[in-house]
Structure formats: C-alpha cells, structure tokens
Chains A and B, each alone.
Chain A
Amino acid sequence: MRLKSRGNVSVTRIGNVLGNGMDLRSGTPLWVTLALAVVALLGSHFLTVYREGKKSRQEREKAWRTSCQILIKEIVDDATKHYCDSTSLGAATDLSAAKINNNLKRLGALAREISAVEPSHSADLGRLLRLLRDVVTSPADYQMPNRELRRAADHMFTEISECESALISNLKKARK
C-alpha cells in the first residue's frame, strides 16, 4: 500500500509541473506527445521547402519561356528585315547576318537549358531549331550584299512563321 501511495504522489507532481494539457493520467505517454510535435514541425518545414521550391521552379520556367520567346521574335524580325528592307543591303549585310547567326546560336543554348519531360519533345525542339536556322540562313543569297529584296508574300516568310509557331508551341510543353 505504501508503494502505491508513493506512485500516486509522483504522478500528480509531474502532472502539476507539465500543466493541465500534458496530464499524464490521460493515457498518452509523454514521448509520443513530444514525437508527434517534432513530426508535425518537420512535416510543416519540408512542406514549406517543397512549396517554395516548386514556386521558384515555376518562376524560373516562366522567365526562361519568356526569354526564348523574345529571342525567337527578334530572330524572325531581323530575318524579315534582312530579306525585305533595303537598309540591310550592301555593307550592312555582314552585320545583319552576324546578328541573326549569333541569336540563332544563343537560342539553341537557351532553349536547351530546361529539358522537356518527354524526350520526344526535346528531339522536336532540336529539329525545329535547326529548321529555323536552315530556313533563314541557308538560301544562296543570305549573305550576298547585292541580293534582291523579297516580297512579304515570299514563301520563305510563311516557312519562318510556321517554324516560329511550332517552336513557341513546343516551349509550352511540360518541362522538368
């Protein structure tokens, strides 16, 4: 009887120290309560880290997509000017062509910074980048200073426009 009485006194004292919310007589062991608190804290921490990471990835992807689209538009505009505008003829040809060549190279590197979830979409992207370079820079008159200006209805511009749309559509595919 003496032993039982001492045990009761001990439990009551600990209960008083911990407060009413941690009443050990409720049946939940102290270590379980502490472990649950730690698990909840860790869970909340990792959830925040995951959400922030996802948000940052989405923002990075959005910025990347915008940069690609700006560069594609610049290439298309420069190509149109190169073949249609008389100010790109003569001595201006080299500079105009060098700018287009350089932007095509930059686009190739930029577009590959984030790969597509589907490998076939990445392969399509490579094919479209090469197609755009071919359509714009492979004509025999591309770097001829005395080339004849093309009309806006020229078939080349339809091809460039189709290629531009296909590239932008490809860039919208899921990325990882």
Chain B
Amino acid sequence: MSMLEETVYNVAKMFSRFPGGRRRANGDFSGEEFREDVVLPLLQKYNRVTFDLTGSAGYSSGFLDEAFGELGSIMPLDEVTRRVKLVAVDDPDAVEIAWERIRDANRERSR
C-alpha cells in the first residue's frame, strides 16, 4: 500500500490542550496514548508528519519522552529526522526535549 505524502497534526487542536502524563495509567491524554493512537498510525499512513505542539498549556518531559522518544528505538535516527518534524512556536524547549529523547533512545538502540 502506498503512503500519502505529508500531513500536519496540531496537538492542541486535535488531541488535547492539556496533555497528560507519561503512561495511560496516569489518566487521559498521556504520552503513551498519543504515541499509540496518533504518532504511530500517522507514520504508517504518511511519509512525512509535522507535529505542531503550539498552543497547548504545556508538556511534561514524561509526556514528550513517551510520545516521541520511543521513535528513536523503533526506526533509525536519519529516518526519524526525515519523516518527523516537530514545531512549537511558543515552547521551543518542548521540541528540544523531544529530540533529545529521540536521540537518547536511538543511542540505546544502537548499543
């Protein structure tokens, strides 16, 4: 099945303005829920996905770790950088933390 080219997913508008904790056990809108229900299905359907983190009330490191960090362990880093784009006009630290987690997971994977 051929993949669609590209899409933009706005987390605040399409998932939640108040992202939750790390695991589903922490409550609704967790990072785990976001990865399993949003990130992975989108990456199966589209070649490139832009996750726009702008507009939410704030992300915990646990959410970012769980939502995006895992990508570094399921695909090579160059593939993640080619296919995933993270933007947050009002929260540049969230983007930086997510990429740090992806790189960390990728280092773990290549050991």
Q: CB within 8 Å of B: which residues of A?
A: 93-94, 97-98, 100-106, 108-109, 112, 126, 129-130, 133-134, 137-140, 142-145
Contact = CB atoms under 8 A, between A and B. Distances in A.
B-side interface mostly: loop
Contacts of B58: 98, 100-106
A98 B57 contact: yes
Interface residues of B, number: 25
B14 interface: no
B33 to A, nearest CB: 12
Which 5 pairs of residues, A with B, have the shortest CB-CB distance?
A: A143-B21, A101-B58, A137-B60, A138-B61, A105-B58
Given A105-B91, A108-B93, A130-B97, A145 B59 contact: no
Given A143-B27, A144-B21, A145-B27, A105 B60 contact: no
Specify the main secondary structure of chain A where it touches its partner.
helix
B60 A142 contact: yes
Please indicate which of the listed interface residues B25, B60, B65, B90 has the most CB atoms of chain A within 10 Å of its own CB. B60
Given A137-B62, A143-B27, 10 more contacts: A101-B59, A104-B93, A105-B94, A109-B90, A109-B91, A126-B93, A126-B96, A140-B62, A142-B26, A142-B62
A96 to B, nearest CB: 12
